[in-house]
Amino acid sequence: MTMTSKKLTDTCAFPVIAIALFLAVSYGLCTIIQLYRFEPMYPLHQFRQSMDLFDYCSAAHQIEKPGGSIYAVSRYVTPPTAALMLYPLIKSMPYRTIRTLLQTFIILSIAASIWLSAKIFLRKNEQIPEFGKRMLYMCLGIIILYSYPVYFIFDRINADWLTLFCVWAGLFFLDREKDIPAGLLLGMSAAIKVYPLLIAVPLVIHRKWKTVCTLFVPFAVFFLIRPEAWFDYVQFRLAERLDSFHVIENVSLANTLFYLSRFLHIPLPRDFLLNSASILWVVLVGVLCAGIVRNRKSVSCLRHIMYLMPCMFLIPSTSYAYSLIFIVPAIPFYISQWQTLTHATLRRVYYMLFCCVALTQIQAVFLEKLFGIQSVHFLPSFGLLGIVLCSIACVYCTHPASSNP
């Protein structure tokens, strides 16, 4: 093996090549089995085309009705922001045009998020050759082509695509110490979906006060546009969303505990399961935050955000798999950390982390339909929990480049 190929294998592309090959080969094998059985299968559950977009548009139509409530649409469970942003579109475009436009934006947002992540974490990294970076981008493209969360969000047209872009754009500005644009973009992401508010924790610990203050500006703007809708959200949807639970297409901590109890033949009552998941989530976040406080002077805020980010998707009890599109743009960060490691134990932790990344993107519904095994939905949720546990290990282990992103 030449020095160039050894360097490439050891420091850059090897984990991403392995993930891309795993996803491509597993999908190919599923397709061959499907052909052998002569059973054409759609890789997702076919409920209704673009069902989340349909609900968003239905909620947006309620805005113009006298006394109408966005939450008269039973399946609309997110903050009012998505419906408010869609309102101008439904007044000016037909539904099919909106659907095509947003599906295009989904692909562009994922590609843009990967590009922003690479700009943040790889731009100063001289250890990775240009060929290695091109190989990395190519493998990330392959991962997108075979990713279950990407298929899921493209089919549903859920607003997580916009949350994804706003988070990564916010982190891009945070990396360049532009605190106000960073706060506005991160605040926009949290106004669309509540879970990015968790990013405020490392910001507070690292005393990024400008970013923290501006983070709440988008909330204030959308609240002033439709204050009664926010009251309806808190009163009618938030508690309902926290209490809902089902095991299909779910990557939450509650889902992982459900399948673990099932595998171990230990039946858990529903309320006990959900309460245990909530308590465990608080413990995991608390342990991570304690590590962040411990290392705040030697480790960047951005890096701590990346370690805490996977915790955003462990709750509520039903956390849909399309949220795992966030994991794909995080890969350049994991690569940037892994390729500087010299400690053997920590390198093994990162190998486990990359295996968990692969599990989060596996085609769970395709496998369920092919083999008739519902428990394959355990794989993405277990992968997500594995990433969180590996992140905790990384936070508490000394890193040779701790001051860098």
Q: In sequence order, what DSSP letters do the residues of 60-96 get, joined into one string?
A: HHGGGSTT--GGGSTT--S-THHHHHHHHHHHHS-HH
Residue 43 DSSP one-character state:
S
Mean pLDDT calculated for residue range 103-119? 96
Residue 6 has pLDDT above 50, yes or no: no
Q: How confident is the model at residue 80 (pLDDT cuts 50, 70, 90)?
A: very high
Q: pLDDT at position 401, please?
A: 45
Mean pLDDT calculated for residue range 325-343? 87
The DSSP bridge partners found for residue 250 are: 320
Q: pLDDT at position 8, please?
A: 44
Q: pLDDT at position 126, please?
A: 61
Mean pLDDT calculated for residue range 26-47? 86
Which comes out higher in pLDDT, residue 126 or 71? Answer: 71
Residue 239 has pLDDT above 70, yes or no: yes
Q: Which residues of 225-260 are buried (b: 16+ CB within 10 A; e: fewer)?
A: ebeebbebbeebbeeeeeeebebebbbbbbbbbbbe
Q: How confident is the model at residue 40 (pLDDT cuts 50, 70, 90)?
A: confident
Least confident segment among 96-110, 181-195, 231-245, 297-311 = 231-245
Tell me if 191 sits within 8 A of 81, measured CB to CB: yes
Q: pLDDT at position 61, please?
A: 93
Q: How confident is the model at residue 127 (pLDDT cuts 50, 70, 90)?
A: low
Q: Is the pTM of this model over 0.75?
A: yes
Mean pLDDT calculated for residue range 149-175? 96
Least confident segment among 177-186, 212-221, 245-254 = 245-254
Question: pLDDT (tens digit, 9 = 90+) per residue, 43-63?
Answer: 888 777 789 999 999 999 999
**How deeply is 269 buried, as exposed, middle or buried, from its count of CB atoms within 10 A (0-12, 13-18, 19+)?**
exposed
| Residue 388: Cβ within 10 Å count | 23
Dihedral (CA of 194, 199, 204, 207) sign: negative
Residue 1 has pLDDT above 90, yes or no: no
